Amino acid sequence: MLENEKLIELYRIMQTIRKVEQKIEDEYKYDEIKTPIHLSIGQEAVSAGVCIHLKKEDYIFGTHRSHAQYIAKGGDIKKMIAELYLRKTGCSSGRGGSMHLIDTEVGILGSTAIVGGNIPLGTGTALATKLQNNDRVTAVFFGDGAVDEGTFHESLNFASLKKLPVIYICENNAYAINSHQSNRHKANNIYKWADGYDMPGYQIDGNDVLQVSEFAQKAISRGRNGEGPTLIECITYRWKGHIGTVNDVGEGFRPQAEYDYWVSKCPIKWYRDYLKGIYILDDKIDKSINEEIDQIITDSFEFAKNSPKPTPEDLFDFVYVN
Q: Which residues bind other proteins (CB under 8 A)?
A: 59, 61, 90-96, 100, 102, 104, 109-110, 112, 114, 117, 119-132, 150-151, 154-155, 157-158, 161, 317-322
CB of 246 to other proteins, least distance (A): 25
Q: Nearer Cβ to other proteins, position 110 or 223?
A: 110
Length of the chain (residues): 322
CB of 110 to other proteins, least distance (A): 5
- Closest CA relative to residue 209, chosen from 10, 21, 69: 10
Q: Nearer Cβ to other proteins, position 104 or 178?
A: 104
Helix (H) or strand (E) holding 180: strand 179-180
Q: Are 300 and 19 in contact (CB under 8 A)?
A: no
CB of 240 to other proteins, least distance (A): 24
Which phi and psi (to 5°) does residue 244 adopt? 70, -150
Q: Nearer Cβ to other proteins, position 128 or 257?
A: 128
- Closest CA relative to residue 145, chosen from 169, 180, 99: 180
- Closest CA relative to residue 64, chosen from 151, 146, 165, 182: 146
Packing angle of the helix pair 4-28, 44-51 (nearest 10 deg): 140
Alpha helices in the chain (DSSP H): 4-28, 44-51, 67-72, 77-84, 118-132, 150-161, 181-184, 193-196, 209-224, 256-264, 267-277, 283-305
CB of 307 to other proteins, least distance (A): 13
Q: Nearer Cβ to other proteins, position 117 or 244?
A: 117
Q: Nearer Cβ to other proteins, position 167 or 209?
A: 167
Q: Nearer Cβ to other proteins, position 260 or 317?
A: 317
Q: Nearer Cβ to other proteins, position 67 or 254?
A: 67
CB of 313 to other proteins, least distance (A): 15
CB of 303 to other proteins, least distance (A): 16
Q: Nearer Cβ to other proteins, position 168 or 237?
A: 168
CB of 194 to other proteins, least distance (A): 17
Report the distance separating Cα 216 and Cα 158, nearest Å: 21
Report the distance separating Cα 155 and Cα 290, nearest Å: 40
Residue 66: strand, helix, or coil: coil
Strand pairing class (166-172; 230-235): parallel
CB of 44 to other proteins, least distance (A): 24
